Structure 1
Amino acid sequence: MDANARIIVALDCDSRAAAEGVVDRIGDGCRFYKVGLELLTAGGPEVVRGLVARGKEVFLDLKLFEIPTSVAGAVRAAGELGVSMVTVHGMGGTGIMSAAVDAARDYPGLRILALTVVTSMTDGDLADIGVGSPVDEQVLRLAGLAREAGCHGVIASPRDVAALRGTLGAGALVVTPGVTLPGESPAEHARPGTPRAAVDAGASHVVVGRAVTRAADPAAAFERVRDDLVRP
């Protein structure tokens, strides 16, 4: 996989117009965009349709956590939009994840990814909700459930990737938000890492957001991420 195909730019924008402006400024270099809850709520499914029409792949980050029937319906809707990836919450268990995988079977290009532990969460945050295991153990536990449910891969922090490869094997997708370039602030991410470190550890894709989308020159910022991946 070439470097450009590994980079997913998160369109953390509050309107369709703002998102389209970012895509225009980055240009042809970026092939893959993430649409999350804020942009989907503000701009609706036309945001996704517009990206797909421009030949972009879309990672629809819904973090689905509902009864299996509702999750399956949302996955089918995502498939109809032409997205490439959609997320379900691993803490929903195998029933929810299996429902998502089954619903995706009619859409050969759609991959189901299970969110393990949000990159902003710490051991203390897990303890607050009654999870006694540390983050690294919880990540592996949920990844194992995702594998059993047939998910195509997981979402996890850069620091979790190496351990996940031992659980999931070489073929699974491991998509890592929380990546930052050397010297940049990790923002709200508690377990960040650089794009190169994530890929060296075994990540299939890295997700970058504000470091690109809010840069003075988003195209140049995207190239800096790419350069970090390909440097010798």
Structure 2
Amino acid sequence: MNKPLIIALDFQEQTKCLNFLKSLMQQGYKPFVKVGLEMFINYGQDFIKALRDWDLPVFLDLKLNDIPNTVERTCEVIAKWNITYLTVHANGGSQMIAAAKRGLQTADNRTKLLAVTQLTSLDDNDLRNDFKIEMTSQENVFNLAQLAFKSGADGVICSAAENLEIKAKTSTNFLCINPGIRPAWSDRNEQKRVVTPTQAKVFQSDGIVVGRPITQAQNEIEAYRKIQGEWN
């Protein structure tokens, strides 16, 4: 698979979202899309099915975090949807990550399991003040990435600046998918650990996730084209 530019579908209305994707496809693109918790709660499995009926690759970002048995059964259901990526929280622990992987492992399913290390909206101060974690953000990310690797995950969600060290501590084949990507010409919003698409490429990202710089742009297709150009 080529290293994708993944569009986070930050739309309030399903019709507007589908029209945007249709416009991209009419321009000859086959967008790789991320469906987060808000979109999934609003529009459900039927929305995922509509995207797959268009043969679009789907990253379902649910960040599952529950007891291992519940997560495994949930992943057994999701395995039938033929999506590309699914997320769990790495801090759910080794048993939960392994259970999620088991749930996805059906004979014909190719869904890859990605573990969320640390949310890009968190920094060292948040770890120390909110969670009483004395590690730095990078130390926390590396610890969780190694845990995910040992527990059978296919990769992690992390800041692009952490890719090279994570691959050194795990495997060069361990996927590092990067949110918190902001072109130099866009707002950072609430993201604290951000890099540009060009920097992500230097950091050997296996895929970048971009939402509002595309979906809230005055010209969404032009913004997508511009970021795709920077990334490729």
**Structure 2-normalised TM-score?**
0.94
Which secondary structure state, in structure 1, belongs to the residue aligned with residue 223 of structure 2? helix
1:108 shift after superposition: 3.0
Name 2:111's counterpart in structure 1.
110
Distance 2:72 2:225 in 1: 37
Question: How far apart, CA to CA, are the structure 1 residues paired with 2:83 and 2:136?
Answer: 33
- Which residue number corresponds to residue 56 of structure 2? 56
Alignment of 1:207-226 (within 5 A): 207-226=209-228
Query: How much does 1:219 deviate?
Result: 1.6
Aligned position for 1:130: 132
CA drift at 1:103: 1.0
| Kept after mapping to 2: 8 A contact 1:165/1:202 | no
Q: Which residue of 2 aligns with 1:144?
A: 146
Please list every run of 5 or more consecutive structure 1 residues that lacks an aligned counterpart in the other structure. Answer: none
Q: 1:35 is matched by which residue type in structure 2?
A: V
User: Would the aligned equivalents of 2:82 and 2:109 in 1 still touch at CA under 8 Å?
Assistant: no
- 2:20: which partner in 1? 22
Structure 2 Cα separation of the partners of residues 155 and 116 of structure 1: 6
| Regions of 4+ moved over 4 Å | none
Q: How many residues align?
A: 228
Are 1:95 and 2:99 an aligned pair? no
Distance in 1, Cα, partners of 2:218 & 2:78? 32
Identify unmatched segments of 5+ residues in structure 2.
Answer: none
The residue type equivalent to 2:147 in the other structure is L
Say if 1:13 and 1:38, in contact at 8 Å, map to a contact too: no
SS of residue in 2 equivalent to 1:98? helix
Q: 2:8 aligns with which of 7, 10, 27?
A: 10
> What is the RMSD of the two structures over their aligned residues, measured on CA atoms?
1.4
Q: Kindly state the Cα deviation for residue 125 of structure 1 after the two structures are TM-superposed.
A: 1.1
Shift of 1:158: 1.8
Deviations 1:101-148 (A, max 9, x none): 111111531000000000000111111112211100000000000010
Query: What TM-score comes out, normalization by structure 1 length?
Result: 0.94
Letter in 2 for 1:81: W
1:187 is matched with which residue? Answer: 189
**Cα displacement (A) at 1:8:** 0.5
What is the SS of the residue equivalent to 2:7? strand
